[in-house]
Structure 1
Amino acid sequence: MEDSIANLISTYHELNAAVVDELDEEPTPLEFMRYVAKNRPFVVRRAAEYWKAVQSWDAGYLNRMMGDEAVKVVVTPHGNADAVVKQEDGLLAFIEPHETFEPFGRFLADIQKRSKMGEREYRNVKYAQTQNDNLRNEYESLYADVPKNIPFARIALDEGADAINLWLGDDRSVTALHKDNYENIYVQVRGQKHFVLLPPVEMPCVNEQPLPKGRYVPSEHTDTLGIQLDTEAEPVPVAVWDPDTPDKLTTPYSHLAKPLRVTLREGDMLYLPSLWYHKVSQSVGEEGFVCAVNYWYDMDFSGHFWASNNFVRDVVNGEKMKPAYPELETDGQT
């Protein structure tokens, strides 16, 4: 069975180039549907350069539009929201960020201030990343500055966006390797985003493990954050292998992975297909913050795609039958 899984991954790479296609212009609905059918990403440079958001969203404009409106902000010690964290006992856990509300203007000013300070003030990293259709809700004042849908996606998929999200932070925030059950159209507004992408077929490479779940919580007497585990929650299946540290926490298949890398600049648009693993880091723009908007369209669960990926996952997870992270017993690395 191990040889069959390795052959599956190798055959995929023989038939699919390890590149992200770059298109000269937005695709037609038919062209887009071909990418959806192949489950392959693409990027369109400067596709959104004339959006009002891309042309207008500087710090002054955002402050005028949002003012003192309260927004949800997540806080972590090192920018590692929703990430695998090594605890004091050496074991791994999936830790969610501390959540709080604060006026948008104060949040943005803090982001800009900490970007200028750099490494000297590397603590309690803030990020706006609620992923709950926030641009049509808590950021409604900015919603008119972006299209209500991406036309080629709406026509091809025959549905409107399930969620439109705004993401705003600085270059200390990193999104750990994960996947989503959505067709994702991602548009960079300010700064840059750096994506590391893995196709769904590389699930055997990412070392998915059931980890205890917890959350960062503030200390009673200092501004530091500690970890509080949820002892009643079911373990969460999480990818613990990181393509940026490929020799740690590996599986027998990790060496077969061929991560794709793409950087989005202001006005660029990325199609990230459903179930693709992605890790995202970022670089601030001239005003010291990073901002992006994404459109989530529900994936189609019919046909063979979802069922086939679940079959591979079941085979690989059933084949493991080994300690959750044996590498920790030898070298202590995460």
Structure 2
Amino acid sequence: MEDSIANLIDTYHELNAAVVEELDEEPSPLGFMRYVARNQPFVVRRAAKHWTAVRKWNADYLSRTMEDEAVKVVVTPRGNADAVVEQGDGSQAFVEPHETFEPFKRFLEDVRSSSQMFGKAGSNVKYAQTQNDNLRNEYETLYAGVPKDIPFARIALGAGADAINLWLGDDRSVTSLHKDNYENIYVQIRGQKHFVLLPPVEMPCINEQLLPKGRYVPCETTGDLEVQLDDEAEPVPVALWDPDMPDKLTTPYSYLAKPLRVTLREGDMLYLPSLWYHKVSQSVGDEGFVCAVNYWYDMDFSGHFWASNNFVRDVVNSEKMKPAYPELETDGQT
């Protein structure tokens, strides 16, 4: 079985170039649909250079426009929201961030002042990343600064965006390796985003494990953030392998992975296909913060793609359940 899975990954790489293709201009709806059908990413440099957001969203504009509107902010000790955290006993858990509401102006000031404090203790990391269509709701005041849709995606997919999200933080936040069930159009507004991408076929490489779920909560005595496990929550599947630390927490297939890397600068647009694993870090620009907008379009679950990927996942996970020494098992007895 290991040979079959390895052959699957090798065959994919033989047939697909290990690069993120760069386009000179936005694709037509038909051209975009060809990328969707192949489940292949692309980037269009400066595609959004004329957007109001790219031209105007500096710190002063955002502060004046949003003023003291309350926004939801996630807070973590090290910029590790929705990430694997090692506990004091050496065990691991999937930990979500602490959530709070703050006036936008104060939140942005904290982000800008903290962006030069990378690695310094005692400064929690704040990030706007609610992922719930926040640009059409929580940040509606800013919504006019971006298109209401991405025309080539709307026409090709036959539907509008399920969600349009704003992301705003500093250079200490890192999004750990994960995947989404969406066709994702991602546009950089301020600063830079650094993506590490793995295609769905490399699921056997990522060392997916079921981990208990927790959340950062303020300590009642010190106020410091600490992990509180949710004993009633179902374990969640999480990737443990990190393509930036390829020799740690590996599987028998991790060495076959060929991570793709792309950096988005202000005005760049990335198409991130559904089910692609991605890890994201960021760098602040002259304004002292990082800001991006993304459009999520629901993936098509019909056809073979979703079922085929689930089959590979099931095969890999069933291999984990096999006994280490099957020759010692006879008729259910050991």
TM-score range, shorter chain: over 0.9
Match of 1:25 in 2: 25
Residue 47 of structure 1 and its aligned partner are, at CA, apart by 0.1
With normalisation by structure 1, the TM-score equals 0.95
8 Å contact kept, 1:78–1:122: no
Which residue number in structure 1 is paired with residue 100 of structure 2?
A: 100
Q: Deviations over 1:237-291 (max 9, x none)?
A: 1111100001111100000000000000000000000000000000001011000
Distance 2:232 2:170 in 1: 34
Q: Which runs of 5+ in 2 are unaligned?
A: 324-334
Would you say the 8 A contact 1:160–1:297 is kept in 2? yes
**2:296 is the alignment partner of 1:296:** yes
Residue identity in the other structure for 1:171: D
Name the amino acid aligned to 2:34.
R
Distance in structure 2 (CA, Å) of the matches to 1:121 and 1:151? 45
How far apart in 2 are the matches of 1:211 and 1:322?
Answer: 19
Q: Would the aligned equivalents of 1:114 and 1:121 in 2 still touch at CA under 8 Å?
A: no
Segments of structure 1 that go 5 or more residues without pairing to the other structure are 324-334
* Paired amino acid for 2:308: S
The 4+ residue runs of structure 1 with deviation greater than 6 A are none
What is the RMSD computed on CA atoms of the aligned residues?
1.0
1:38 counterpart residue number: 38
Looking at structure 2, the residues matched to 18 and 171 of structure 1 have their Cα atoms a distance apart, in angstroms, of 27
3-state DSSP class of the match of 2:186? strand
Rounded to whole Å, the distance in 2 between the matches of 1:160 and 1:4 is 39
Structure 2 CA distance, aligned partners of 1:178 and 1:204? 13
Partner of 2:151: 151
2:81 aligned with 1:81, yes or no? Answer: yes
Match in the other structure for 1:235? 235
Q: Which has the larger radius of gyration?
A: 2
Aligned-pair CA distance for 1:118? 3.8
Q: What amino acid is the match of 2:137?
A: N
> SS in structure 2 opposite 1:79?
coil
Structure 2 counterpart SS, 1:144: helix
Alignment: residue pair count: 323
The 5-angstrom pairing of residues 295-334 of structure 1 reads: 295-321=295-321
User: Hey, what does 1:168 align to over in structure 2?
Assistant: 168
Which string of whole-angstrom CA distances, capped at 9 and with x for unpartnered residues, describes residues 178-232 of structure 1? 0000000000000000000000000000010000000000011324110000011
Cα deviations across residues 113-153 of structure 1 (Å, max 9, x unaligned)?
11134433563100000000000000000001100000000
Q: Secondary structure at the match of 1:123?
A: coil
Q: Secondary structure at the match of 1:159?
A: coil
Between the two proteins, what is the percent identity of the paired residues? 83
Shift in CA distance, 117/246, structure 1 to aligned 2, threshold 3 Å: closer
Tell me, in whole angstroms, the C-alpha distance in 2 between the residues paired with 1:185 and 1:264.
Answer: 12
1:166-315 paired onto structure 2 within 5 Å: 166-315=166-315
CA distance in 1, matches of 2:123, 2:226: 12
Counterpart amino acid of residue 38 in structure 1: R
Distance 1:138 1:312 in 2: 39
